[in-house]
Structure 1
């Protein structure tokens, strides 16, 4: 067993898998005072991630909550659903949104009327939704990190030649000494994304939850791989591009929760413009071009080359997906000057939605225009959760 694992390890770390021909792990050995990235360095990101989780808890309580109060962010009063074993079992095991035929069956099982069953499920769904203050705390925390990370990355890169000429990221590869600024930039970024994965169970879940998980995992793999094989110059540029627009999105959310509609719309418009420029123009046509097309003029392709660029393509596909959602949001609020609606979020159902829907059904049925007894509920357009 041990010999099999040893042979497998030797195969995985073969030079030809990770580097162009003639180069290998021996080129990343420290010498003459020059330091290079090491596999063991990545373990440091675990305490960094745990540190971020602790700092986040302190930040949300000492900064996020008071800031929410100053900006007038308040949670709506929620009426709790009365305990009912039959309805609770269906809610947890079958569906949170029962069909009309199921509602009638549940009405008989629970002893509630159809209207009471509908109201119970609405209140139970609202109970599981995160409060506005929690969403404000999360947005303010991410805004703070992304803003600091952007300026830290800009400080670490602005005087580097590969910031202005991306072809310079391959000069001397892989024998490029590790700079202290690069080390800390990498550890903080990777630690933050690891903390996002660790906190995924308690964070606000959106409709693109699966895409977010894919994004976080691909980002962690991309940062880790670029560290291992000293693609650090490319990695720092990729991280900076991502941090550029994220703080704008979080600021738009902050002002949305505070009810500052014009300010929210302004920051969201800025975010949309920066997102499209950085993620759909700079990243694919400058950075990915320099990591995919240009290296082939210097080295033949190798497995690590395909792995790195494959992860970048995964991220790029997610960027296109999110760009479509962003454009849909922009189209919604620009003509009517309404607040932007986040396509990734569901909204909290109000206590009057079922009543309004029921009145509409009765009115339409009276006129003979009902369609299978269903009418659309209020759509609450114009909310960004």
Structure 2
């Protein structure tokens, strides 16, 4: 009991002068409770199930109807020596390894090279898999963004940061906001669970950092009743994500011009929302409102991590705009899959979230 009291000490979680007594519930008034966050566990499992059903019953047949098809890839001949090296040591052997493997397998070096190239191709994600993943994320982000927009557009504290903190922390939790928060938390928890099985991209580590930072911010802001601020931050993040997923879907459908136009729109929305609106909201709605205490310091740290990721992804996006669309260079995803599939599948718009 003593440890629990130490963890939930109001001096850590609330600004100076505020206590948990200020957030005491009554029959008519409800505030966020830490135990509510446990609902993200069944929520994440449910979203994973919904995703599987959606990809099989909606995205897959829609993709086939629209002409998405996987390129046939040559199958490699079984070879225990080469397979063992591939699985245990390296997928891309060096020249000296190729010579050694050729001697052990009694094969020409050129055939060993071909075997490894075809073997890598077998493990690369199929175009249809990419389309199904993008379709699911597009559906969720689109629904999330416009649902959040519908919830927030008429709230006075969205447009006036002084109203945002009026009588804080005594700001009752609206049921719709509570469910929206838990939906977002469940989605990011589900992303963490499925990340190892999804199409792996070059910024895999950055994605993990982003998801951990996002989950942490959602949890601590919910416990401290920073719902109004958190809702705005989540809405800003969702503003560009569905456009990116739409651009990817158009790319898989080989609609080059429409894809490039959509990607430019995504770039503009991403830069405005992540590099302009996000830091302004962070500063005016949070940094200027609280004296430095434990929770505010933690939130500021993770907000800064997100901002650094935004800058990193913006660099990749702008780099792609110049190299691919404006200069007409060979199109390659700046955040492409690890060892892109076939050349025809390699030209994919950059960046995820975030």
TM-score range, shorter chain: over 0.9
Number of the residue aligned with 1:343: 334
Q: For the residues of structure 1 that align with 2:318 and 2:239, how far apart are their CA atoms?
A: 18
Q: Pick from 341, 347, 350 the counterpart of residue 383 of structure 1.
A: 347
Q: 1:265 aligns with which of 260, 263, 272?
A: 260
Give the match for residue 141 of structure 2. Answer: 146
CA contact 2:127–2:345 (8 Å) conserved in 1: no
Q: Which residue pairs with 1:181 in the alignment?
A: 176
TM-fit CA distance, 1:140: 0.4
1:79 CA drift (Å): 1.2
Aligned counterpart in structure 2 of residue 288 of structure 1, from 282, 302, 313: 282
| d(CA) in 2 for partners of 1:237, 1:115 | 57
Deviation per residue, 1:266-307 (Å, 9 max, x gap): 1100000000000000001x21102443214xxx32100101
Corresponding residue to 1:331 among 299, 302, 322: 322
Q: C-alpha distance in 1, partners of 2:63/2:300?
A: 41
| 1:67 Cα deviation from its structure 2 partner | 1.2
C-alpha distance in structure 1 between counterparts of 2:289 and 2:48, whole Å:
38
Q: Which runs of 4+ in 1 moved over 4 A?
A: 336-340
**CA distance in 2: counterparts of 1:381 and 1:50, whole angstroms:** 31
Q: How does 1:1-385 map to 2 (within 5 A)?
A: 6-31=1-26, 33-284=28-279, 286-296=280-290, 300-337=291-328, 341-345=332-336, 346-349=339-342, 383-384=347-348
Q: How many angstroms apart in 1 are the aligned matches of 2:157 and 2:251? A: 38
Unpaired runs of 5+ in structure 1?
Answer: 1-5, 351-379
| Cα distance change of structure 1 residues 290 and 32 upon mapping to structure 2, 3 Å threshold | farther
- Deviation at residue 347 of structure 1 after TM alignment: 2.0
Q: How many residues align?
A: 347
CA shift for structure 1 position 53: 0.7
CA contact (8 A) 1:341 1:381 kept: no
Structure 2: 5+ residue runs without aligned partners?
A: 350-354
CA RMSD of aligned residues (A): 1.7
Deviates more, 1:338-347 or 1:256-265: 338-347
TM score, norm. by length of structure 1: 0.86
Deviations, residues 191-240 of structure 1 (Å, cap 9, x unaligned): 11111111112111101011101111111111111100001001000110
Q: Given the superposition, is the C-alpha separation of residues 78 and 210 from structure 1 closer, same or farther in structure 2, using an over 3 Å criterion?
A: same
Structure (1 or 2) with the larger CA radius of gyration: 1
Superposition deviation, residue 66 in structure 1: 1.2
Pair 150,349 (structure 1): closer, same or farther in 2 beyond 3 Å: closer
Alpha-carbon distance between aligned partners in 2 of 1:109 and 1:25, rounded to the nearest angstrom: 71
For residue 199 of structure 1, give the secondary structure of its aligned residue in structure 2.
Answer: helix
In the aligned structure 2, how far is the partner of 1:46 from the partner of 1:199? 14
* CA drift at 1:166: 2.7
